[in-house]
Homo-oligomer: A and B are copies of this chain.
Amino acid sequence: MESLAAVDARLHRELQSRYEALVPVLRHGTQLGGKRLRPALLLLSGAAMHADRTAKNPLTTEESATTEDHVVMATVVEMVHTATLIHDDVLDKATTRRHVPTINARWNDDTSILLGDYLFAQSFYLAATLPSTLACRLVGQAAQKVCEGELRQVLGRDWLDIDEETYLDIIRGKTAELTRVSCQIGADLSGGDEGQVEAFARFGNDLGIAFQIADDFLDLWGDDDNVGKTLGTDLQQGKITLPLIRLLRHDDNAVAMAALDALRLPPEDRLGRVMPLLRKSDAAEYTRKVAESYRRSAIEAISGFAPSSALESLKTIADFAVDRRF
């Protein structure tokens, strides 16, 4: 995707500094994002919306599918995402991310905190260079919901008490909010009407939820090398995920009780005790099913738009989000 390269170039340009000491830190920060999922969603939603308008009204839509504003906002969502990753690595005491040393490992926690703040501030500034305040509001609100979701996780002392509804509510904030707003902004910048923009927003929301559930699945049944982090990390950090919620509500109360005991063990002992219990339950199958239902609902949301390669790509991303390993 050509315009994704424009985002990378823009990201690189924005993260220059006249202070030499900052250059390597900023450069390292931009390498942590990896997949560039959110910019891709924004650009593709924009292109799909544009293609739809062109198909229905060939004479009135002359501007190109990806405008400079699309590239700017794609850069913004990637910056916000990177800022949250950098802070997450401090919270999780992570030393590598996608096989690259984290900022806190290579420098220290203080540098991570300040670099994340710097990226937040820079992204808001950049969003404010667009003529309307809508993008600023959407991005500000999304970033707030991301933090709110994480704060609830940190402050939720009795993690074993979390039910499926609360779990979904937390990942809606933590992950789906930024994918939702990426699709929303992309479609809005391409002149979609309220209903159309809302459809793309719903696609981004449901895709984000499916993506996070798949991530939670991979933490237990993934392959260390592909995932790029140690298995069972969520479990060690006391983060409750959908497979565990399912296991704790097992029909056979003895299994549920054994799971509860296992999760109360010291962090490093949990995985070994939980895995055999998970195998005896339908947790993997159930998790897969829920992720799949969100994938379907995401694709459903954008099914009414005119066919285009951008629209096809969005559907492929939704498939990939869920089928990365299963």
Residues of A within 8 A of B (CB): 17, 19, 21-22, 25, 83-84, 87, 90-91, 107-111, 113-118, 120-122, 124-133, 136-137, 139-141, 143-144, 146-148, 150-152, 154-156
Q: A114-B147, A121-B120 are in contact. Are A132 and B129 (CB under 8 A)?
A: no
- Residue of chain B at shortest CB distance from A134: B128
Partner of A117, one of B108, B114, B116, B152: B116
Task: Take A115-B151, A156-B21 as given contacts and tell me if A124 and B110 are in contact as well, using a CB distance cutoff of 8 Å.
Answer: no
**In the complex the two chains form, is A21's CB within 8 Å of B155's CB?**
yes
CB pair A140 B125 closer than 8 Å: yes
A102 to chain B, nearest CB (A): 14
- Name A113's closest neighbour in chain B (CB-CB): B87
CA distance A147 to B121 in the complex (A): 8
Contact residues in B for A25 (Cβ distance below 8 Å) = 151, 155
A96 CB, min distance to chain B CBs, angstroms: 20
Could you list 8 further interchain pairs (A-B, Cβ under 8 angstroms) beyond the known A114-B151, A114-B154?
A: A87-B117, A111-B155, A117-B117, A117-B120, A117-B147, A120-B121, A122-B144, A132-B133
Asked if residues B113 and A91 are in contact (CB atoms below 8 Å), the reply is yes
A288 to B127 Cα, complex, angstroms:
41
Question: What is the minimal beta-carbon distance from A156 to any residue of chain B, in angstroms?
Answer: 6
Across the interface, which residues of B come within 8 angstroms of A108, CB to CB?
154
